[in-house]
């Protein structure tokens, strides 16, 4: 019974464990990892293998319905796969997609967050915001109120404990303070025995401070005398230059502690270098230069002397030693150097440079030649010292015997010889050095020099010049035979060098013999054209002319090539050469109208009108239906007063050529002669034949307007607009007609229609702005201008108007905007030049005017108004030469356009005026 009543101590083993029980936690055995936690040591079968086995047994795989619910849980779908590069790329792409989606929602999310933050701040404002109104109220507090504000006290109503510590004052402080205000009124016994305040030394002597001061001054004076070079104590006195003394003081380099430390470290390094490798010459040189830099010349010379002893076969050490010594010592040093390195050219040249007498120099150099007879430099220096050509020739003869491979010596000898002997010298040189192209070029230049040496018949000179071509051709062949292959670029550089030195024919011969080298047949035209342009850009006109001449022999039917040759002669040649090239051009290209017209114009500009007529007659034979030639003939006759002949030519032209431009010129001619009715009849006929030619309607409307028949003019413009709605000038003329009739509203309506028919036309917007300005609506004009800039943001014309529409202080900023938007537009550049003109920046304004007229690639497309502004500027600030230069450039450019230029140029009163006269009139009209 007793055993049954005893409790079972092991009953807890069969009881369930508490919910928070962790096995081993009480004895600190928690945290162990067992095989059951991490799985077996070997990897089990994959998911695919398990599925395959279940399929064989007929079992259905266990599918977890929740395994595909979480998109980030890859256990179910990709449990047995490997994470590869493709998976990484896919994850990166999805991450980018998430970022893009987040960026789309960011604006709304941030707006929502800002709204919530504002709501939170409104409900729970900061303390600073709560007292903001009170802070603003402090601004009205007066000084008296500030003074009456009580000081902040202790408002806590708590008694503060005072610091009541005390310190004991020492007796010395008390005694000293007591004796501070006392006075001694008696002498002690020692003072009474020695006579008051006279204090004797122990040996009975008395210190004399006056003598000590005098001795100090004397020592200081002696030191100053030593520094200045005056020894007064010895009775010797040397004169000293105060200025030179101060200059020498200026030359003293004061080194900082850091520099001195660097010098010491460098000295240690170089000392170690020369001790470890005493045969290393650069180390001795560097060590000597270090001492020189430190100002220790004696140490530097001693160092380089040791270097010469250690490295006697190195020329640089001897040269450095000579440099560090004076002239006389340097001669001795170089004499010793010659004993060790007698084959050094630098040593001998340095020794010759030390001599100041020419005879001594010659003696040194000739001695050097005895030691080094194969040095070209020594021979050249020796020859240069000779003042007599005979002696120089003798030396060079000996030099080429000793050094037959030196091309320089052969060429120098040939230059000193007579022409006949020079030929023999060059022949010997050619045999001695068959691979030198300089000798062949020198031979060609010698032949050219002989050809122009004396007055000779033209045939004989041409024959001798032909020998130059043959010589260069033979030279090129011989060089190829000896495997010397120079490139085209090298030969062209040699040709340009010959031209720069005055050998034009040799330059042409080189180009003729080598220009076709290494060029494919299909690339010849482009390559040669580029070579000619490059040579012209460098200023080598002869080379460019020779290249074009060779190209024209290969391509005689290329009209563009003849045009380039003619332009080259017009810019850099003579009238005779230009006429010759144009005559050849029309012979090879008879169908090229532009060449005929250039030739006729040159004859006309030279004052030879019959010759110009003859050229045009020949042009008629080759181009009977050419519109340009017919009109050129009409202009020639009309300008020379042959109006009947011009009218007859126009009648024949309308019959033979029958083009719209000929009909227009016929009407213009009759209008200029005052035959308005004939002009209207001609225009009526022309409009029937060419109803789409807008200029016919313009001229018809202008004639009606000139006659005062505004209704007829309005009808002409309306018919033209109907037939040619894309022509901007017709719309503008119709608008100006309405404006002249006092109907500004109708003018605006016409321009609105024109802009609808021609969107993006800056000229129409500019005309609309002008209509508003002329009608007195400055504000409306600015509005229209702003709309125009919105539609045509890169229009230089509108930007120019915008610059001048601004008040003066803001024009510069507006011009900067115009330059950014319109770029290199001539109107913007001209406006900037005018702004600089107004600010008196003359040179800058002139530079910007030059940029403005050069903005167009085709000179004839430049605006005449810009040329007129430049001329007006030069009249005010330039010289007569600068004004003439502007006029000359304007005449060469032949401007045709401009808001002010065209009305003046087409005025009947200015019909026969030249470009210069029109330019003067436009410059006077500008304001």
* pLDDT for res 716: 92
Using CA atoms in the order 902, 903, 908, 909, what is the torsion angle rounded to 10 degrees?
A: -100
pLDDT mean over 770-781? 86
Of all residues in the chain, the percent with pLDDT exceeding 70 is 83
Identity of the highest mean pLDDT range in 476-480, 603-607, 920-924: 920-924
Does the pLDDT value for residue 249 go beyond 80? Answer: no
Contact call for residues 750 and 773 (beta carbons, < 8 A):
no
Question: 230 vs 695, which has greater pLDDT?
Answer: 695
Residues 6+ positions from 150 with CB-CB distance below 8 Å: none
Q: So what's the pLDDT on residue 166? A: 64
> Residue 72 — pLDDT band, cuts 50, 70, 90?
low
The region that residue 204 occupies, defined by phi over 0 for left and psi between -120 and 50 for alpha, beta otherwise, is left
856 has a pLDDT exceeding 70: yes
Average pLDDT over residues 95-105: 83
3-state secondary structure of 29: coil
Task: Please compute Rg for the chain using Cα positions.
Answer: 53
Position 243 scores a pLDDT of 53
| Residue range 682-694, pLDDT digits in tens | 888 999 988 999 9
pLDDT digits (tens, 9 = 90+) for 635-671: 887 777 788 888 888 888 888 878 888 888 888 888 8
pLDDT for res 378: 82
User: How does residue 1 score in pLDDT terms, banded at 50, 70 and 90?
Assistant: very low
CB 271 within 8 A of CB 288: no
**Start-end of H helices in 21-67:** 35-38, 47-57
Stretch among 20-29, 365-374, 409-418, 796-805 having the lowest mean pLDDT: 20-29
Q: Which two tokens stand for residue 476?
A: 């090129």
Beta bridge partners, 904, equal none
What per-residue confidence (pLDDT) applies to 235?
Answer: 43
Taking each continuous run of H as one helix and of E as one strand, the counts in the chain are 50, 2
**Beta-bridge partner residues of 230:** 237
Look at the pTM and tell me if it is higher than 0.75: no
Q: Is the pLDDT of residue 81 over 70?
A: no
Structure tokens at 601: 């114009």
- Tell me the mean pLDDT in the region 109-135: 81
Reference 643, options 619, 618, 670; nearest CA is 670
| pLDDT surpassing 70 at residue 467 | yes
For residues 594-620, average pLDDT: 82
- Of 862, 872, 849, nearest to 892 by C-alpha is 862
* pLDDT at 230 (0 to 100): 45
Residue position matching structure tokens 């001329």: 871
How do residues 385-401 score in pLDDT, each as one tens digit? Answer: 888 788 888 888 888 88
Give the pLDDT confidence score for residue 435 in this predicted structure: 84
Interhelix angle 376-385/345-354, nearest 10 degrees: 20
User: What is the per-residue pLDDT across 636-645, written as a single tens digit (0 to 9) for each?
Assistant: 877 777 888 8
Most distant CA pair in the chain: distance in Å?
166
- Report the 10 Å Cβ neighbour count for 164: 5
Confidence class for position 719, pLDDT limits 50, 70, 90: very high
Task: Categorize the per-residue pLDDT at 583 as very low, low, confident or very high, splitting at 50, 70 and 90.
Answer: confident
Q: Has residue 231 got a pLDDT over 50?
A: no
Q: Which of 796, 792, 814 is nearest to 805 (CA)?
A: 814
**CA of residue 422 relative to chain centroid, distance:** 49
Environment class of 333 (CB within 10 Å of its CB; exposed 0-12, middle 13-18, buried 19+): buried
**The predicted structure's pLDDT at residue 448:** 81
Whether residue 381 contacts residue 390, with contact meaning beta carbons closer than 8 Å, is answered with no
**Res 845: pLDDT:** 92
pLDDT at 847: 93
Nearest to 508 by CA among 523, 485, 492, 519: 492
Over residues 354-381, mean pLDDT: 84
Residue 896 neighbours by CB distance under 10 Å: 14
- C-alpha span between 853 and 863 (Å, rounded): 8
**Strand bridging mode 236-237 / 230-231:** antiparallel
Q: What's the confidence (pLDDT) of residue 833?
A: 93
651 burial via Cβ count (<10 Å: 0-12, 13-18, 19+): exposed
Query: Is 237 in a helix, a strand, or coil?
Result: strand
What mean pLDDT comes out for the span 509-525? 85
Which residues on neighbouring strands pair with residue 237, listed in sequence order? 230
Least confident segment among 80-84, 198-202, 230-234, 376-380? 230-234
Mean of pLDDT values over 801-824 = 89
Report pLDDT digits (tens) over 18-71.
766 766 666 665 555 555 555 555 566 677 777 777 777 777 666 665 555 555
Percentage, residues of the chain above pLDDT 90: 8
Ordered alpha helix ranges (H), 626-709: 627-639, 643-656, 660-672, 676-689, 694-707
Mean local confidence (pLDDT), 791-801: 90
* HSE of 243, CA atoms in CB hemisphere, 13 A: 0
Rounded distance, CA 656 to CA 16, Å? 127
Query: Which residue matches tokens 């035979």?
Result: 481
Mean pLDDT of the chain: 80
Residue 193's CB is within 10 A of a number of other CB atoms, namely: 8
Which token pair is 191?
């003072």
Asked if 800 and 831 touch (Cβ cutoff 8 Å), the reply is yes
Q: At what angle do helices 281-293 and 315-324 cross, to 10 degrees?
A: 20
């Amino acid at each position: 019974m007793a055993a049954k009543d005893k409790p079972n101590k092991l009953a807890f083993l069969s009881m369930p464990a508490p919910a928070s029980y962790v096995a081993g936690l009480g004895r600190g055995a928690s945290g162990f990892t067992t095989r059951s936690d991490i799985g077996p040591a070997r990897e089990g079968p994959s998911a695919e293998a398990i599925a395959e086995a279940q399929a064989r047994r007929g079992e259905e795989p266990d599918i977890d319905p929740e395994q595909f619910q979480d998109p980030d849980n890859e256990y179910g779908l990709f449990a047995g796969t490997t994470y590869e590069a493709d998976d990484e790329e896919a994850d990166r792409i999805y991450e980018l997609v998430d970022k893009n989606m987040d960026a789309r929602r960011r604006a709304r999310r941030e707006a929502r967050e800002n709204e919530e933050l504002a709501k939170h701040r409104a409900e729970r404002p900061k303390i600073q915001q709560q007292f903001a109104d009170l802070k603003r109220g402090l601004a009205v507090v007066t000084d008296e109120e500030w003074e009456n504000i009580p000081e902040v006290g202790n408002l806590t109503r708590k008694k503060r404990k005072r610091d009541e510590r005390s310190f004991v004052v020492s007796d010395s402080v008390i005694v000293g303070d007591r004796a501070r205000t006392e006075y001694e009124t008696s002498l002690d016994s020692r003072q009474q025995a020695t006579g008051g305040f006279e204090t004797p030394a122990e040996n009975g002597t008395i210190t004399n401070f006056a003598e000590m001061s005098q001795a100090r001054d004397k020592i200081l004076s002696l030191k100053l005398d030593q520094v200045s070079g005056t020894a007064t104590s010895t009775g010797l006195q040397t004169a000293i230059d105060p200025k030179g003394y101060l200059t020498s003081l200026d030359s003293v380099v004061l080194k900082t502690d850091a520099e001195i430390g660097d010098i010491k470290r460098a000295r240690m390094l170089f000392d170690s270098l020369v001790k470890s490798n005493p045969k290393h010459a650069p180390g001795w040189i560097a060590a000597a230069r270090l001492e020189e830099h430190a100002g220790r010349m004696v140490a530097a010379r001693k160092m380089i002397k040791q270097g010469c002893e250690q490295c006697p076969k190195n020329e640089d050490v001897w040269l450095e030693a000579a440099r560090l010594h004076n002239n006389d010592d340097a001669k001795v040093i170089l004499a010793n150097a010659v004993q060790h390195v007698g084959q050094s050219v630098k040593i001998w040249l340095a020794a010759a440079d030390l001599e100041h007498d020419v005879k001594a120099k010659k003696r040194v150099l000739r001695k050097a030649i005895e030691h080094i007879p194969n040095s070209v430099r020594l021979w050249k220096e020796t020859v240069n010292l000779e003042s007599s050509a005979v002696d120089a020739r003798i030396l060079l003869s000996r030099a080429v015997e000793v050094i037959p491979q030196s091309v320089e010596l052969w060429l120098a000898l040939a230059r000193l010889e007579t022409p006949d002997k020079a030929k023999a010298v060059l022949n010997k040189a050619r045999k001695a050095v068959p691979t030198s192209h300089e000798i062949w070029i020198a031979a060609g230049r010698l032949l050219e020099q002989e050809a122009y040496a004396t007055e000779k018949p033209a045939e004989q000179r041409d024959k001798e010049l032909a020998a130059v071509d043959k010589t260069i051709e033979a030279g090129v062949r011989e060089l190829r035979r000896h495997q010397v292959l120079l490139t085209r670029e090298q030969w062209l550089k040699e040709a340009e060098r010959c031209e720069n030195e005055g050998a034009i024919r040799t330059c042409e011969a080189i180009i003729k013999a080598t220009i076709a080298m290494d060029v494919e047949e299909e690339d010849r035209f482009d390559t040669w054209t580029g070579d000619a342009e490059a040579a012209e850009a460098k200023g080598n006109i002869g080379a460019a002319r020779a290249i074009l001449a060779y190209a024209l022999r290969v391509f005689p039917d290329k009209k563009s090539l003849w045009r380039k040759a003619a332009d080259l002669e017009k810019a850099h040649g003579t009238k005779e050469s230009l006429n010759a090239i144009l005559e050849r051009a029309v012979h090879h290209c008879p169908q090229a109208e532009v060449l005929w017209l250039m030739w006729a114009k040159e004859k006309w500009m030279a004052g030879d009108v019959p010759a110009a007529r003859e050229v045009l007659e020949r042009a008629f034979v080759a181009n009977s239906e050419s519109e340009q030639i017919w009109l050129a003939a009409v202009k020639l006759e009309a300008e020379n007063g042959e109006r009947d002949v011009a009218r007859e030519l126009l009648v024949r032209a309308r019959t033979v050529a029958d083009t719209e431009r000929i009909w227009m010129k016929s009407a213009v001619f009759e209008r200029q002669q005052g035959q308005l009715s004939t002009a209207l009849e001609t225009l009526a006929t022309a409009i029937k034949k060419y109803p789409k030619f807008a200029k016919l309607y313009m001229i018809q409307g202008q004639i009606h307007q000139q006659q005062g028949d505004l209704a007829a003019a309005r009808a002409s413009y309306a018919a033209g607009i109907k037939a040619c709605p894309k022509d901007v000038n017709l719309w503008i003329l119709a608008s100006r007609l309405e404006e002249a009739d006092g109907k500004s509203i109708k003018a605006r309506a016409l321009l609105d229609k024109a802009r609808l028919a021609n969107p993006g036309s800056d000229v129409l917007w500019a005309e609309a702005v002008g209509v508003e300005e002329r009608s007195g609506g400055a504000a409306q004009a600015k509005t229209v201008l702003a709309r125009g800039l919105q539609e045509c943001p890169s229009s230089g014309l509108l930007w120019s108007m915008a610059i001048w529409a601004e008040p003066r202080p803001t024009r510069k900023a507006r011009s900067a905007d115009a330059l950014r938007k319109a770029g290199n537009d001539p109107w913007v550049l001209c406006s900037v030049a005018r702004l600089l003109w107004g600010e008196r920046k003359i040179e800058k304004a002139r530079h910007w005017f030059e940029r403005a007229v050069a903005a167009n690639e085709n000179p004839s497309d430049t605006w005449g108004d810009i040329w007129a502004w430049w001329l007006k500027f030069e009249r005010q600030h330039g010289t007569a030469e600068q004004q003439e230069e502007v006029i000359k450039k304007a005449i060469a450019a032949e401007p045709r356009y401009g808001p002010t230029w065209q009305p003046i140029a087409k005025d009947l009163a200015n019909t026969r005026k030249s470009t210069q006269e029109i330019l003067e009139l436009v410059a006077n009209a500008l304001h």
